[in-house]
Amino acid sequence: MVTVTTGKERYSFSKLSSFHTCKYGYKLTYIDHLKGEGNCFSSYGLFVHSIMERYAKGELDLWSLADIYKWEFETAVTEDFPNTKFCPDMKKLYYEQGLEYLQNFSGYSKYEILEVEKQFDIDIDDWVFTGIIDLVYRDDNGKLVVQDYKSKSGFKSKKEQAEYARQLYLYSLHIKEKYGQYPDLLRFMMFRKNKPVDILFNTKGVDEALGWARDTVKEIRECWDFNPSCDAFYSQNLCNHRGYCENKL
């Protein structure tokens, strides 16, 4: 596998995952090329990603992050949050948790930052895997770390964690190509809870993620039935096509 040229089908982790989330949504986005609309969770995640990216690139000072968050929140996250009996004011909760994370964030002074929001392409078989890595660094023990920010509070199960880990294992292909070694550690930073979820790298994880990606591309190419396959919460709150989907649950 080597870095690619053009002219091949391109798949990202989100594109591959969306096929399993809802085949109809996949069709509307990637075959019919309908942009749809965003949602509060994606806007919130992108907003915090933006702050952390600007900091890691030296565009924002550590002391200013919380103030930037307060100043920009309303213009960056414009969609309504769903409220449930378990969380009657989800917008307030997300806002306060994000602010607390930035107020307590101590920076990366001990780390050697190698890549920030690095976009890459890599050949897999006759198609291209493309991705954007949030952060790559060497920690104070010299370990090579691939980090991804998540607005989730945590993973519901080991199974869900393993499914998300495929993203970073696939990103590890780029790390191996560029640095001549796989990362030592894969880290999900659950910033709302200020909680890292660390996965020690192992080659079995790469093999599993590659197998999953190849199988998914095969399924997509052979698929003829793009009926909806998502759950009700996703259909009503997260789907980019929720406003006009004829099959909305």
pLDDT tens sequence across 1-30: 444 456 899 999 999 999 998 898 899 899
Q: Which two tokens mark 85?
A: 């009996």
Does residue 68 carry a pLDDT above 80?
Answer: yes
Taking the C-alpha atoms of residue 8 and residue 235, their distance in angstroms, rounded to an integer, is 31
* 11 neighbors 213 (Cβ within 8 angstroms): yes
Q: What is the mean pLDDT of residues 186-202?
A: 97
Taking the C-alpha atoms of residue 52 and residue 247, their distance in angstroms, rounded to an integer, is 37
Confidence of residue 248 (pLDDT cuts 50, 70, 90): low
Amino acid at 21: T
Count the residues in the chain. Answer: 249
* 121 neighbors 129 (Cβ within 8 angstroms): yes
Which pLDDT value is given to residue 35?
82
Does residue 171 carry a pLDDT above 90?
Answer: yes
Neighbour count for residue 162 (Cβ, 10 Å)? 15
The rounded percent of the chain whose pLDDT value lies above 70 is 94
Does residue 193 carry a pLDDT above 90?
Answer: yes
Which pLDDT value is given to residue 94?
97
CATH code for the structural domain at 9-238: 3.90.320
**With helix as H, strand as E and coil as C, how does the chain read?**
CCCCCCCCEEECHHHHHHHHHCHHHHHHHHHCCCCCCCCHHHHHHHHHHHHHHHHHCCCCCHHHHHHHHHHHHHHHCCCCCCCCCCCCCHHHHHHHHHHHHHHHCCCCCCCEEEEEEEEEEEEECCEEEEEEEEEEEECCCCCEEEEEEECCCCCCCHHHHHHHHHHHHHHHHHHHHHHCCCCCEEEEEECCCCEEEEEECCHHHHHHHHHHHHHHHHHHHHCCCCCCCCCHHHHHHHCCCCCCCCCCC
Q: 118-127 pLDDT, tens per residue?
A: 999 999 999 9
Q: Which residue has the higher pLDDT, 240 or 156?
A: 156
* 2 neighbors 205 (Cβ within 8 angstroms): no
Amino acid at 180: G
Which pLDDT value is given to residue 240?
79
Q: What angle do CA 230, 233, 239 make, to 5 degrees?
A: 60
